[in-house]
Structure 1
Amino acid sequence: MHSHHPIGVFDSGLGGLTVLREIRRLLPGEDLLYVADSAHAPYGDKSVAFIESRSIAITEFLLERGAKAIVVACNTATGAAARLLRTRYSVPLIAMEPAVKPAVEHSRSGVVAVLATRQTLASHNFSVLLGRLETNAEVLLQPCPGLVERVEAGDLAGEGTRELLRAYLEPLLERGADTLVLGCTHYPLLTPLIQELAGPHVRILDSGMGVARQVHRRLSEAELLAPEDRIGRDRFWTSAHPARMHGLMSRLWAGEVELAHWAESKTRDDPRSHGGLALEPI
Structure 2
Amino acid sequence: MARPPVGNSKPGLVVVGGTRANRALGAVWLVGAGPGDPDLLTFRAFNALRAADVVVHDGLVSDEILDLAPRRARRINVAKRKSRHTLPQDDINQLIVGLALDGLNVVRLKGGDPFLFGRGGEELLACREAGVECHVVPGVTAALAASAGAGAPLTHRGMAQAVTFVTGHAAHGDPDLDWASLARPNQTVVVYMGVSTAGLIAERLIAAGRAASTPALIVENASRADERRVLTTLAGLAQAAQGVKGPALLMVGEAMGMADTVTAAPEVSETLSFERSSR
Higher helix share: 1
Decide: shared fold, TM above 0.5: no
Which is higher, the Rg of structure 1 or of structure 2? 2
Please, what TM-score do these two structures have when normalized by structure 2? 0.36
TM-score (norm. length: structure 1): 0.35
Q: Whose strand proportion is higher, 1 or 2?
A: 2
Structure with greater contact order relative to length (CA < 8 Å, sep ≥ 6): 1
